[in-house]
């Protein structure tokens, strides 16, 4: 499947993201809307809506890689490319939360779901 805003050096598969989270090697950022975040998210993800991301960039550590995710990967791809241009090591999770959860990975809260955008 082809994903919008994809690039080999930016994209990470959910399995790679899961490993990097387990290694505590990244800042995980959910760029979806607040109602989407509340419905279901990856544990430990920081909520920063795409529209507010530029104004909150200084809250992220430039010395640690950042992985952005959204529902399917379009918004996170845009965020990753923009942050790359700003000097961050930024990535986007391919397939977004739909793929993460569809492959059997957990989301919180218990009973949570991937909200429509």
What residues are labeled active site? Answer: 70
Helix (H), strand (E), coil (C) string for 18-79: HHHHHCCCCEEEECCCHHHHHHCECCCCEECCHHHHHHHHHHCCCCCCEEEECCCCHHHHHH
């Amino acid at each position: 499947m082809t994903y919008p805003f994809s690039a080999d050096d930016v994209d990470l598969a959910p399995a790679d993201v899961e490993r990097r989270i387990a290694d505590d090697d990244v800042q995980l950022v959910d760029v979806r809307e607040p109602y989407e975040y509340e419905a279901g998210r990856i544990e430990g993800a920081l909520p920063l809506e795409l529209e507010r991301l530029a104004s909150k960039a200084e809250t992220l550590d430039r010395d640690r890689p950042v992985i952005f995710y959204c529902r399917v990967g379009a918004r996170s791809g845009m965020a990753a490319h923009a942050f790359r241009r700003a000097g961050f090591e930024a990535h986007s999770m391919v397939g977004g939360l739909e793929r993460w959860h569809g492959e059997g990975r957990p989301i919180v809260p218990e009973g949570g779901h991937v909200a429509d955008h």
